[in-house]
Amino acid sequence: MTKFLTALLLLLTSYTLTQAQTHSHEMGFQSDNDGYLAQGSDRYYTNGIFVNYRHALTVNAKSKLANKVLGLEIGQKMYNPQSGSVPSALYIDRPFAGYLYAGATLNFLYKNESNLKLGLQAGVIGPASYTKQIQEFIHRTFGFYPPTGWEYQIRNNAVVNLSAEYNKLLYRSGAFDVSLSAYGNAGTGFDGAGVGPMLRLGTFNKLFNSAATQSSSIKNGSAYASTAKHELFFYYKPQYNYVGYDATVQGNIFGNSDDTGNTPQITGALNHLMFSNQLGGDYTYDRLTIDFSVIFHTKDVKTMVDAHQWGSIALLYHFN
């Protein structure tokens, strides 16, 4: 009887792990905030909230693809100067701005552990993003100071943006690997590119089925399901960035106009070359992925009194 129960338990465990490796849907949210670093700061890129859904699509076993993932996302980003409450326009070292958007991505993940993710975003920067109201609601709810200065925010302008991201495995030895990571943006809101390495240390899957490439979802029955029963790894991504245009700093790419007839918007001058560091950790098991990272970013506006940094938390649920 004991042998029978042991065999049954092993069978059920094996079945559970197999199912965990082939969840084809993923849904979750991500929250960015400088407050997560417990430094008492409330400046620059100060808050972001994102809800996303991903679905692994069927791939031809004879193709070069190991996985293909469709992603959908809605999100809002919030920017303010060195504080969310400024006594006068003289203290606006980075413009007030909000960005509200919806987007879609298609992630092609190849058997050679490279991937190409293509994306499209459409949204609005300005009062129509309701970012001012969201910040006021957050501060009122948690008893923070009342925000002031949003009358100077970047005015309404529509955003249509294309993006591409490429990753490629360069080296792996045991519990450590290094990949090349690069991206490019082009459109009416954001133009630029960046490149740098991504280093992982720990227990991880290959890049076509890993949280590192947002591809934890994989189609049922795929021969390329997870090789690790779980992922638990730390990562480091230093990156050089060139920004050609940023509408949250410079306003409408087609020319700024004072369309409200009230207080004029205050724009800024970009630092086109920037450097960022991202350090984080990922844990994935069965139906759950948790990611936490901290991002340190050099000044993206020439008048900023300091560099900026924030924390990011993501929670994802996998299902069939």
Supply 9's token pair. 């338990």
Domains (ranges, CATH) in the chain?
Answer: 24-319 (2.40.128.140)
The two tokens of residue 31 are: 């929250």
The per-residue pLDDT for 182 is 98
14 or 63, greater pLDDT: 63
Per-residue pLDDT at 221: 60
- Residue 14 above 50 pLDDT? no
Rounded Cα distance between 55 and 106, Å, is 10
Model pLDDT, residue 320: 86
β-bridge partners, 49: 31, 76
Is the model's pLDDT at 13 over the cut of 50? Answer: no
pTM of the entire predicted model? 0.90
Identify the CA nearest to 97 among candidates 190, 185, 162. 190
pLDDT exceeds cutoff 50 at 278: yes
Neighbouring C-beta atoms of residue 167, cutoff 10 Å: 22
Average pLDDT for 66-80: 97
pLDDT class of 39 with cuts at 50, 70, 90: confident
Given a cut of 70, is residue 4 above it in pLDDT? no
pLDDT at 22: 72
Q: Give the closest residue to 57 by CA, choosing from 223, 281, 217.
A: 217
Residue 262 tokens read as: 């009230």
CB within 8 A of 310, min separation 6: which ones?
Answer: 32, 33, 34, 36, 37, 45, 46, 294, 295
pLDDT at residue 19, rounded to an integer: 42
Average pLDDT over residues 164-192: 98
How many whole angstroms separate alpha carbon 187 and alpha carbon 268?
19
Q: Whose structure tokens read 């306003």?
A: 251
CB atoms within 10 A of CB 159: 22
DSSP 1: -
Q: How high is the mean pLDDT of the chain?
A: 90
Distance CA 166, CA 181 (A): 6
